[in-house]
Amino acid sequence: MSGTSPGMDITTLSALAEPNRMNIVQLLRSGPLAVGEIADRLGLRQPQASKHLKVLSDSGIVEVRIDANRRIYTLRPEPFQAMDSWVQSFRHLMEERFDNLDNYLRELQNKDKP
Amino acid sequence: MSGTSPGMDITTLSALAEPNRMNIVQLLRSGPLAVGEIADRLGLRQPQASKHLKVLSDSGIVEVRIDANRRIYTLRPEPFQAMDSWVQSFRHLMEERFDNLDNYLRELQNKDKP
DNA sequence: AACGAATATTCCCGTCAAGGAATATTGAGA
DNA sequence: TCTCAATATTCCTTGACGGGAATATTCGTT
């Protein structure tokens, strides 16, 4: 069962596949933030911010640190590492990424054999 | 503009955030396939397979080559490259990936200043 | 031209996710 | 203990999405 790649975890992807949540993630790249801050900066109402953060939290993308009244949310590395290694398993498709010079040369060659 | 990714394209993510479509993508890793093959191997009915392939196609994850009666679907590299560079922009979070030894040392240090 | 194989499209239906508004919870402090 | 600030939770409604079944389209073959 737990053998080879069932594929990327779906919940991570669907958590990210929503604009507000994607914005939250982008925002948190620069550091941990409290719910109020997040809501303010993204123009969200507090309850919606909390809901989206719950989804992100349930999917493991984000973790929370309790500070008195506030909850400080932070990005967790694991889901990104997982995405990274999943995407890397498609190297064979994206050969062009590995070496820019190589890529450039490949581009030139394509003009000869299209 | 060319700074950090404005954010990953949502449609790519939501296209992948569905089990059957994820399975199709995994299946296509080993090479192009016709709709019937895909449906067969994944235990899908043909119409559902077509629908999912349309979503994948609309989002640019897959492209189609027409061969008489059949449509042969193939993975396109671009979305994966995009995901790759997006995920890479989170390197600062995933430092632990770079060097396992470094990670191990970091773990030890965390026991001293928590 | 007619038929069959392969695929796409349409219609209907049930489910689920997201926003809005109101309310509950928790903690700090007077 | 009362109150305020910060956050989570609930209820409701609406719209999007996926599956099922049937039908339309397209191409090769006879």
Q: Report pLDDT digits (tens) over B2-35.
A: 444 567 999 999 999 999 999 999 999 999 999 9
Per-residue pLDDT in tens (0 to 9) along chain A, 114 residues: 443 445 799 999 999 999 999 999 999 999 999 999 999 999 999 999 999 999 999 999 999 999 999 999 999 999 999 999 999 999 999 885 445 555 555 555 555 444
Mark whether B82 and B71 lie in a shared domain. Answer: no
Chain B closest-CA separation from residue A46 CA (Å)? 23
Residues B62 and B32 in one domain: yes
B75 pairs with which residues across the strands? Answer: B62
CATH number of the domain residue A33 falls in: 1.10.10.10
Q: Is residue A86 part of a domain?
A: yes
Distance between CA A38 and CA A92 in Å, rounded? 39
Polymer length of chain A: 114
From the list A31, A26, A30, the residue with the least C-alpha distance to A56 is A26
Q: Looking at the domain assignment, is residue B1 inside a domain?
A: no
Alpha-carbon distances, residue A63 vs A106, B34, B110 (angstroms): 43, 42, 18
**pLDDT value at residue B109:** 60
Residue A4 belongs to some domain of the structure: no
Residue B104: its pLDDT value, please?
Answer: 56
Task: Say which of B83, B89, B93 has its CB closest to residue A77.
Answer: B93
Contact with chain A for residue B80, Cβ under 8 A: yes
One domain, residues A86 and A47 = no
Kindly state whether residue A66 falls inside one of the protein's structural domains.
yes
Contact B67, B31 (CB under 8 A): no
> Structurally, how many domains does chain A consist of?
2
Q: Based on the fold, state whether residues B69 and B57 are members of the same structural domain.
A: yes
List bases, strand C, within 7 Å of protein CB.
4-10, 17-23, 26-28
Residue A31 burial (C-beta neighbours within 10 Å; 0-12, 13-18, 19+):
exposed
How big is chain B, counted in residues?
Answer: 114
Does any domain span residue A106?
A: yes
B77 and A84 within 8 Å at the Cβ level: the answer is: no
* Shared-domain flag, residues A70 and A85: no
Residue B2 lies in a domain: no
Domain ranges, residue A59: 9-75
Are B80 and A85 in contact by the 8 Å Cβ rule? The answer is: no
* pLDDT of the residue at A95: 80
Together in a domain, A63 and A89: no
What residues in chain B have per-residue pLDDT under 50? 1-4, 97, 113-114
In contact, B73 and B41? CB cutoff 8 Å:
no
Interface of B with A in 2-61 (CB under 8 A): 4, 7-8, 10, 13-14, 16-19, 22-23, 25-26, 29
Tens digit of each residue's pLDDT (9 = 90 or more) over A34-67:
999 999 999 999 999 999 999 999 999 999 999 9
- Interchain proximity A22–B16, CB inside 8 Å: no
Both A19 and A54 in one domain: the answer is yes
For residues A31 and A67, state if they share a domain.
yes
Query: Which residues are bridge partners to A74 per DSSP?
Result: A63
**B45 assigned to some structural domain:** yes
Contacts of A109 (CB under 8 A, 6+ apart): none
Residue B3 lies in a domain: no
pTM of the predicted structure, to 2 decimals: 0.85
Same domain, A21 and A32: yes
Q: Is the CB of A20 under 7 A from strand C?
A: yes
* Same-domain pairing of A82 and A68: no
Residues A70 and A81 in one domain: no
Q: Which two tokens stand for residue A16?
A: 């990210």
B64, B29: one domain = yes
Interface mutation vs chain B, best among A26, A73, A75, most B CBs within 10 Å: A26
Across all strands, nucleotide nearest B17 (CA–C1'): D17
Asked if residue B46 keeps its beta carbon closer than 7 A to nucleic acid strand C, the reply is yes
**DSSP per-residue codes, B23-53:** HHHHHHTT--EEHHHHHHHHT--HHHHHHHH
B50 CB closer than 7 A to any strand C atom: yes
Q: At B2, which amino acid appears?
A: S
H-assigned helices in chain A: 10-16, 19-28, 35-42, 46-58, 77-88, 100-110
> What is the per-residue pLDDT for B97?
47
